[in-house]
A and B are shown apart, each in its own frame.
Chain A
Amino acid sequence: MKLRLRAQRLEIQTKDGLYGTQLQFAPKGLTVIRAENTSGKSTCINAALYALGLEAMLGTSREVPLPSVVTTRLQSGDKQLDVIESSVLLELQNSKGDVYTIKRQIKGTKDKRLIERFDGALISDPGRVPPKQSDFFVRVPGGATRERGFHTWLAEYMGWKLPEVQKYDGETSPLYLECIFPLNFIEQKRGWTGIQANMPTQYRIRDVRQRALEFVLNLDKAGLERKAQQIKDRIDSLKVRWRERCAEIELLTGRINAVIDGLSQELQATWPPTPYPTVRVTKGENWIVLGQFRKDLEQRLKQLEHEEIPTTAGIAAELTEKLKTLEESLYNLDMLSRTQIVRVEELEAERSLLHERALSIEEDIRQHQDAQLLVKYKSQVAKSIDLDRCPVCSRDMDGTVAGQASSAPAMTIEDNISFLQEERKAVQVMVRHAEKNLGAEQKRLNALRDGTANARAHVRAAKESLVEDGRLPSSAAIRERIEVRETLQLVAEIGESLDVNLEALSELATQYQKELAEQKLIPKGLTKSDTDKLSRLGELVREQLKLYGFTSFKPEEMKISPDTYHPIVSDLDWYFEASASDNIRAIWAYTLGLLELSRAHEMAHPGFLIFDEPRQHSAKGDSMAAFLKRASSSLNFDNQVIIATSESSDLLKASMVGITGHVIDFPAPNKIVHKL
């Protein structure tokens, strides 16, 4: 027993005074509320739902989903009385014995989203004043997660921890209480149209019925699936971090116009990759490995540091010679840059052509998919219209506008789509390849441009040196020293940052490997304990169906589906095949079966059931008696079953023979809602 409904009170203020009703439910076992039709039974049941903030089960409307007797006008004898103000109170108790009374206004000036909670039994023991009061809210964002949300409190009060579930849009949300309680409140209008028929759909929770049942049945599968989802989320975050690292590496290498090879942009589980990622720097026409580049620089620096800075006069001849070489290399670099520009332009053109091709394939695929749909719709409306044959001469048209002009027959639309999808795959690979090439060639162009600028500066420095005072140290020589030192420093910094990033990638790969291993360990589907629970539920359902006189199928044929957890008959949805009264019997058997199952298993069942008018479609009197008898067994298990019915007093008495239960009878012309 997670939640017990102790008492309910309806208060309707009119100018003729206070109207309403007060119902005291049996603390455990069966309570039957009997009254004539239109005397307010459903009003009470629905008001209880409303008090608990569960009115989403009654429809999507923002209006209070309760009849006029509590919202506008009530009929008392031949008097019509306007409703001035009305509220519903519900006295609750949880398994720890904590008693609270909740109150929600139906008509009046208060915010309809407000639920007031009072400590203690305000209905059964109204003498205690003033009770401590706290305010909660329903039907506001966060109503099931925020501290002031009524459902946050209610879930905690029942000892429930609501699971996070997937929505259709890929987001997650808590499994709202409104999605769980259709298993406990079988409301009159929609409740008897199927199992979990009062399920609100506006929350857009994926497979919401299964999720609710997994929660109530406390199946391991749900927990395992959540765990699998958590692993997937963690892997997704690893993927993002991997890509961030790659982007950083790209940025770093870009600073010295280098490229990195052998590094996957996508998360990898194996590290180090073979061959290990190498960074290459362009040097004139060639690419050299970063390590070598650094070594060369170090060597050159060492060499320079050993030498004394020469005076201009001392190296005049050498400088002249060097100037010549420099000018030559400047010329070469300039030429190389020009060819490189053409190369980059070619690659850019190639890439944009491939892009165009990719787009046109996309469009072609869409047109074909449309064509596929259109053929389907066409066949639904006009079978006589044939697309393959000319309507006049019956010549084969091949389903194309081109007719027979083309030499080969046209592919079918389906084949054409898969053909295009294959082509799309190929083009995508080519686009990726082209982009990678282009990136590398662009860097090379940048390097050549930097090199040209550098060479130009060298030429200028050499020229300046030659006209300087011969006794001064050569500015060209000084320049080279500064430059080599600076480049070396930059390369060292980049090298270090690269190492840090590669180290981080290695860490990510290790984590990924761990997650993958963990993912493998999670068993798929139902565990042994899950199947045990479901097969026991099946037994309970079959047992009851026999008792209730279910005839549409052999009750033995019915079992619980491992996918939907609903009763099935040899994998069929039996619901449409069975008679209307047998559908009602199946709903009795299933909902009661869940309650009974919760007695022997650890489950999240609230421990109570409320049926409004279970005698739908005139299920036979004797099967109703069997149902009442079965439901009354809840007395021995601290469960509560509340039934509202308009069965005649005599018949009910006959049905209740030998059954222990609390009957609240409102014999005609008494109504449930009356003057208090």
Chain B
Amino acid sequence: MNILEELGASRVSFKRRPSPVPGDKRLVWRAYLVLLFLDRLSRAKTSSLMKLHVLNWAFRSYENQSEFLAALEQDFSGALIVHFDPGLPRVLAYLTASGLVERNSAHRYKLTDAGEKFVETLKGTQALEQIRKTMDSLTPNRVTEEKLGALLNRK
């Protein structure tokens, strides 16, 4: 006897149910995050992919954030283990295609004028408030390409 019959089921149907997605995997959340990196933490609104990867890791969770900030404060002695997220190039591709970000001749990502206007709408809103506060406490000078590079290579 078939096990389904044994269970008394005459017909079995399967339905695809939507599944939950972690908040940091939401495209809109990540897209704004990357725009904020370029807007607030980059000189001339331009960043290398490497820097974006580090920032992307640093701001994805509070845990990473505090680890990152501690490292910047120099009281972090171990090596920084940065997780390179394959989702980031996807977000960048999306932003580039939407015309909010462009890639310049040095293969760096730059916020376009449209991108700048876009991210400006966050002013005075509650969205990403805590993250923006943290960003404001840093300045582009404190998270230069060199400095982040040094953090990664620290032994």
A residues within 8 Å of B by Cβ?
A: 359-360, 363-368, 370-371, 373-375, 377-378, 380-382, 385, 387, 390-392, 397, 399-403, 406, 408-413, 415-416, 419-420
Contacts and interface: CB of A to CB of B under 8 A. Distances in A.
A392 B93 CA distance: 10
B149 to A, nearest CB: 25
Contacts of A368: 23, 26, 29
Main secondary structure, interface of A, reads helix
Nearest to A373: B127
A412 B18 contact: yes
Contacts of A367: 22-24, 26, 29
B83 interface: no
Contacts of B87: 401-402
Contacts of B20: 410-411, 416, 419-420
24 contacts: A359-B62, A363-B23, A363-B62, A364-B23, A364-B24, A367-B23, A367-B29, A371-B28, A373-B126, A375-B28, A377-B121, A378-B118, A380-B121, A387-B28, A391-B97, A391-B98, A399-B27, A400-B21, A401-B26, A401-B91, A402-B25, A402-B87, A410-B20, A411-B19
A370 B18 contact: no
Interface of B: 16-32, 61-62, 87, 90-91, 94, 97-98, 100, 114, 117-118, 121-122, 125-128, 130
A390 to B, nearest CB: 7
Nearest to A391: B97
Contacts of A400: 21, 25-27
Given A377-B122, A387-B27, A401-B87, 6 more contacts: A370-B23, A370-B127, A371-B26, A374-B127, A380-B121, A411-B20
Contacts, number: 106
Contacts of B117: 381
Contacts of B125: 373, 377
A370 B98 CA distance: 21
Interface centre among B25, B26, B32, B114 (most CB of A within 10 A): B26
A373 B25 CA distance: 16
A399 B17 contact: no
A486 to B, nearest CB: 51
Contacts of A385: 98, 100, 118
Contact of A374 (B21, B29, B61, B130): B29
A45 to B, nearest CB: 37
Interface centre among A371, A392, A400 (most CB of B within 10 A): A371
A406 B98 CA distance: 24
Nearest to B19: A408
B140 to A, nearest CB: 23
A371 B23 contact: yes
Nearest to B88: A401
A590 to B, nearest CB: 35
Contact of A413 (B26, B32, B97): B26
A416 B21 contact: yes
Nearest to B97: A391
B127 to A, nearest CB: 4
A374 B18 contact: no
Interface centre among A365, A378, A380 (most CB of B within 10 A): A378
